[in-house]
Amino acid sequence: MSEVDTLRSAAYKYYGISLPRHVLTRPRVLVILREAIHGNLPGRAIENIDEVRSFFKQNQEQFELLEQKLELLKPSEQVSILANTDIFIGALGSGFVNVVYMLPGSVAISFSPPNIGGLFFNTLSEFARVHYIGVFNSSVPFPPECKNRINANGESVIRACVDRLHASDIFIDLRKLEVLMDAAMLHLKSHKYSMSL
């Protein structure tokens, strides 16, 4: 048993969380939204959230959608929601630390702001045995604050540039989302619910 398994088990026990069903019917999809509170960087909202909602509404027979602002919930609520989540979607940020409360075989899809990468949560997800899909967008031109201030790795040490890049909103391409959801379903069927098929 790994440290993440121990943490997950202890959290479930402490908060009295009963484990979810073990049969895949309609995967539960959690889309995390961001609240403008102290400590959160501005931006990184899903700018086309209404289109994303429409996508899931059109596919409601296939997926059960839940939207939450995790930073507004009590820890017990966060653990309960994540324990019952199959696919976790959101903008790259500290909310993805909650993958440790997901059951092994679940999927986390993290959308990065334009020109920002980072696999910070990939390692954590690997230890939690959650499949992490990082979605990066480098097709947007760099903002003026970053002109001639990006190194060969696409990184900058200029605070104004870094702040601007990290505060960019996220646009989710629905065609890409559809492909990602197909990949997530394959993973769930293979790794989380393989015994129930």
Residue 103 has phi, psi (to 5 degrees) of -70, 145
Q: Where are the domains of the chain?
A: 3-136+143-196
pLDDT digits (tens, 9 = 90+) for 130-154: 999 999 876 667 777 777 766 655 6
What fold characterizes domain 3-136+143-196?
Answer: Rossmann fold (3.40.50)
pLDDT digits (tens, 9 = 90+) for 160-194: 777 777 777 888 999 999 999 999 999 999 999 87
Q: What is the mean pLDDT of residues 86-102?
A: 92
Q: Is the pTM of this model over 0.75?
A: yes
Residues near 188 by Cβ (< 8 Å), separated by ≥ 6? Answer: 24, 27, 86, 87, 105, 106, 107
Q: Are 78 and 70 in contact (CB under 8 A)?
A: yes
Top-confidence residue, 118 or 16: 16
Top-confidence residue, 146 or 7: 7
